[in-house]
Amino acid sequence: MKINVKKVIINVILKTILGMLALVILIPIIWLIFSAFKEEADIISWPPTFFPKEFVFSNWEGVKSKIDIIQYTVNSMIYALGTSIPAVFLNALAGYAFSRFNFKFKNVIFIGYLATLMIPFQVIMVPLYLEIHALGWLNSYAALIVPKIASASWIFLCRAAFDGLPKELEEAARIDGCSEIRIFSNIMLPLIKPTCITIFILTVNGCWNDMLWPMLVANSSSMRTLANGLAILIGTHTTEYGSSFMGALFSMLPMLILYIFGQKYFIEGQAHSGIKG
């Protein structure tokens, strides 16, 4: 009996600590959400409030009058979807080849792919920028999208997923006279759907929140993405906090919804994809 009481007490203390840690994570996010609906006077009042005195939507008008948020959102969507859809298909294609085919120099080539994982983006950003500049791609969607499609870590993830499938599947299709690309796209790719969703979701999230690359190559007023457009909003209008909060909330909302419905894939992908700043 004595041991049980001790156990219960320890458990309660532990749960309290873990719960408090969860609050530390949550409070800033919830506070941001509430603050987006506060009046400016409410925001700058002292003592600061957690809940809005009254819910107002005027901050949305504030955002719209300062930056072209609709255009930036469209740009972010094009960047996110334009990157993630080909990323799923092309990385899976390579992962499939490394998993199912035997060809000359396979291992050497695969190690070459993996070696690219060791190259930190921040280290090559200067020559990459100059390359985009030389190609004449500055301030185009291609500049944002094309360099971000291929990823050795996704190829690696797809290869592992295909490794788990039985060999007989494509043998049967091959005997039926299916072309290799059809075997891939119609039979094999659908079988690793969870992996595809993981890649899709994490690529969308990565592009949506990416600030540095759009800042370098898509900085004209009509090409900005939401993340770097907001950076400009806080840079130039530091005195009006309400619209900054609303802008931040607006940019966070799609990812929040994605997280609520696709949490499993976020976690799955994060456990496998390596090196992020």
Partner 1 sequence: MQLKRMTSYWNKPEHVAYLFIAPTGILLFVFCIIPLVASFFLSTMKVGVNLGLGEFIGLDNYVKAFTDRRFIDSLRVTIKFSVIETFLQMVIGIAVSAFIANNSFFNRMVRSIYFLPVITSAVTVGIMWQMILHPSIGLFTYWMEKIGLNNVALLNNPDTALYTLMGISIWRNFGISAIILVAAIQNVPKDYYEAAELDGAGKIKQFFAITLPEIKSSIWYLLISRVIGSLQVFDIVYTLTNGGPNNSTRTTVFYIYGEAFSKNNNMGYASAMSEILFGMIMIVIIVLQHIERKTSD
Residues between 129 and 168 that touch partner 1 (CB under 8 A) = 129-131, 133-134, 146-147, 149-150, 152, 155
15 binds partner 1, rule: CB under 8 A? yes
Residue (54 or 103) nearer to partner 1, CB: 103
Half-sphere exposure in the Cβ direction for 232 (13 Å, CA): 18
Distance CA(79)–CA(204), nearest Å, equals 8
Binds partner 1 by CB under 8 A, chosen from 16, 186, 221, 270: 270
Q: What is the DSSP string of 45-76?
A: -SS--SS-SS---HHHHHHHHHS-HHHHHHHH
252 binds partner 1, rule: CB under 8 A? yes
Cis status, amide bond into 48, omega within 30 of 0: no
205 binds partner 1, rule: CB under 8 A? yes
Residue (121 or 141) nearer to partner 1, CB: 121
31 binds partner 1, rule: CB under 8 A? yes
How many residues bind partner 1 (CB under 8 A)? The answer is: 95
Residue (62 or 247) nearer to partner 1, CB: 247
| Helical (H) or strand (E) element with 99 | helix 69-100
12 binds partner 1, rule: CB under 8 A? no
9 binds partner 1, rule: CB under 8 A? no
Least distance from partner 1 to the Cβ atom of residue 121, Å: 8
**Residues 6+ positions from 43 with CB-CB distance below 8 Å:** 35, 241, 242, 245
From residue 63 to residue 102, the character string flagging contacts with partner 1 as x (rule: CB under 8 A) and all else as - is ---------------------------xx-xx-xxx-xxx
Least distance from partner 1 to the Cβ atom of residue 57, Å: 18
Question: Considering only CA atoms, which of 76, 99, 97, 103 is closest in space to residue 160?
Answer: 99
Q: Please, is 147 exposed, middle or buried when counting C-beta atoms within 10 Å of its C-beta (0-12, 13-18, 19+)?
A: middle
